[in-house]
Amino acid sequence: MLRRRITYLVLVSVAVCVFVVLVVMTIMTGLARDFESKNQRWFGNCILSSDSLVGFPYYEEFIKKLGSEDFIEALSPVIAVQGILTYQDTGYQSSVQVMGIYPGKHSRVTSFAESLYYHRDGPLRAFEPSDDANLPGIVLGIDKIRDRDEYGLYYHEPEPLVYSFSLSCFPLTARGSLARAAVGIVNSKTFYYSDDSHSALANVDGDYVYLPFDEVQILCGMAGGEKRASAIHIKFVEGVDIEKGRDRVRAVWDKFVEHKRSAGYAELLDGVRVETYKQFRREVMVAVEMERTMMVFVFSLLGLITVFIIFVVFYMIVSHKSKDIGILKSVGAGDIDVVSVFLLFAVLIGLLGSAIGTAAGAAFLAEVNGLEGFLFERYGFQLWSRAIYAIDDIPNKMDLNVVTAIIASAVAACLIAAVVPSYMAARLRPVDTLRVNRL
C-alpha cells in the first residue's frame, strides 16, 4: 500500500498538522508554565492572607508556631495595602499596591532578592538609598520607574538616581474605621528610591511598591494596640507537595484560631484564607489556562479536516484494492484480519506522520529564538513585542506530556478515519470482486 503515492500526501498532511500543533502548544504550554513558575517564585508556595485591608493580629505568634513545623522552610509576614504614590519632582500621582516586607525574610520565601537590580546580592540593604542609608528607602516595581526597550531590557544607571516619593495611606483601626478621623485622616511619608524590582509579572511590576514592614505598619495603622499583618507568605521544604503542605498549614491555622477564640480581635482571624499560590493568583492564572483550553478545542476542530482526508484516502485505497481484498478473503482471511490490515496501516501512517511532524517541530523550536532574532534584526518583526509583553525568550522546551498527547491524538485520528473504510473492506465479498467481468 505504501506504493500508492496518495499515501505520502496523507503522511504530509498528518505531519504538517502535528508540526503546527506541536509548535503552537509547546509555545503556549511554555508560556503558561513560565507564568506559573514566576508566580510561585514571587508569591511563595502557600499564602495565608486576610481578605480585609484591616489585616489580622497574632501573626508573630503564629509564625513562631508554624516555623517549628518540619515541612516549613521559611515564612515572611507581609502587609499589603492600597496607597497613593506621588513623584515629588513632577507631582505625578498614581495609586499603588504597597507591600510592607522584611527584605531578608521575604527573599528566603520568594524571588524578591533576584528581582532587585542594585541590591541583588544584599537584599537586607534593599531599603537603603545609595546616597544616605539612614533615609527611608522604597523599592519600586520596575515599570513604575523605567521603560522596557524593544528587546525587553531596562536601562539602569551605575548608581541609583536620587528620587523622592510621597506615599499616603488611610490608617485603619482594627475595626476598619478611619484611625485619624479627627486629625487629618491620612498618613503620608516621604521615601527615597533605593532600588527597583523586576518580577517579570506585568501587573506586579506595574502596580507594586515595596517598603520596610515596620514603616507600612505605622502608615496604615496596623502598629497600634495588637499589631497586625495582611498576609504570611510560606515556602515549604523541598519535596513537600504544595496541596498537602497547604492542608497542613490550614490544620495548624485552624487549631491556632481555636486557641485564640477568646482573645481580643479574634473575629479578624475568621477572614483569613490559606491558599496555594495558584489559588491566590487564580484570577490571572485561570485566563492563561483558559486560552490554552480554547486553543486545544480549535485545533481539535481543525484536526477533523485531517480525519476527513485520511478517511477519503482510505476509502480510495479500499476501492482500488478490492481485488486484493477479494483474493485475501478467498484464501481464508477473516473479516477481522482485513480490518486489522487497514487499521494497522492507519496506525503506521499516524506514527510515521507524527514522527516526521515531531522531528520538524523539534528542529523548528530549537531555532525559533534565533529565527525571531534574525527577523527582528532584519525586518523588525517579533512574535510578541517585548516592549509590551513581559516575555523573555519564546519558550521552546518540548513537554513530554504534550508531545505524547499530540502523537496519541494523531494516531487516534488516523484510526477513527480508517474505521469505516476498513469495515467496508471487510464487508466485500470475493464472489463479487473476483467475478470475471470485473477483473
Partner 1 sequence: MLKLFLCLRYLRKLKLVFLSVAALGLSVGLLVIVASLFSGYIEAIRLTGHEVYGDVYLKPWIEIPECGALIDALESLEEVKAATVVTESYGLLYLGRGNVKGVKVLGIDPDSYSKFYDLENRLLKYRHSSEGRNFGSDFAGKKGYISIGVLTRPDEKTDVYDFDIARQWLGKEVVFTTGAVVKKPTAVRSPEDNNNVEVVPGTPYGERLRTRTLKFKVSGIVHHGIYFIDNSVVYLPIETVRQLHSVQQSKYGGGQGAVKIRLFEGTEPRDAIESVRRVWQKSANQWGLDKHLIANTLLLTADDIQHAFLAEVHKQKVILMLIFTIICSAVVLLIFCIIYMIVISKQKDIAIIKSCGVANSSVASIFVGFGGFVGIAGSALGVLLGAVVTRNINLIEYWIRVALGLKLWKSSAYVFDKIPARIDTAMTLWVVVFAIIAACIGALIPAILAVRTRPIDILRYE
- Which residues inside 3-32 make contact with partner 1, applying CB under 8 A? 6, 9-10, 12-13, 16-17, 20, 24
Contact between 136 and 212 under an 8 Å Cβ cutoff? The reply is yes
Nearest by Cα to 233 from 244, 221, 245, 224? 245
Candidates 119-127, 141-149, 278-286, 427-435: pick the segment binding partner 1 (CB under 8 A). Answer: 278-286
149 counts as binding partner 1 under rule CB under 8 A? no
List the one residue from 28, 65, 166, 292 that touches partner 1 (CB under 8 A).
166
Nearer Cβ to partner 1 (84/333): 84
Contact between 433 and 326 under an 8 Å Cβ cutoff? The reply is yes
Nearer Cβ to partner 1 (74/406): 406
Cell 538609598 -> residue: 129
**What is d(CA 382, CA 373) in angstroms, rounded to the nearest whole number?**
8
CA distances from 313 to 7, 55, 258, 323 (A): 7, 67, 70, 17
List the one residue from 70, 157, 183, 301 that touches partner 1 (CB under 8 A).
301
Which H helix or E strand runs over 137? strand 137-141
99 counts as binding partner 1 under rule CB under 8 A? no
Candidates 101-109, 255-263, 286-294, 398-406: pick the segment binding partner 1 (CB under 8 A). Answer: 286-294
Which H helix or E strand runs over 169? strand 164-169
CB contact set of 157 (below 8 Å; sequence gap of 6+): none
List the one residue from 184, 239, 332, 380 that touches partner 1 (CB under 8 A).
184
Nearer Cβ to partner 1 (41/228): 228
416 counts as binding partner 1 under rule CB under 8 A? no
164 counts as binding partner 1 under rule CB under 8 A? yes
Nearest by Cα to 382 from 210, 66, 149? 149
List the one residue from 176, 225, 264, 334 that touches partner 1 (CB under 8 A).
176
List the one residue from 153, 178, 237, 251 that touches partner 1 (CB under 8 A).
178
Interface with partner 1 (CB under 8 A), residue total 74
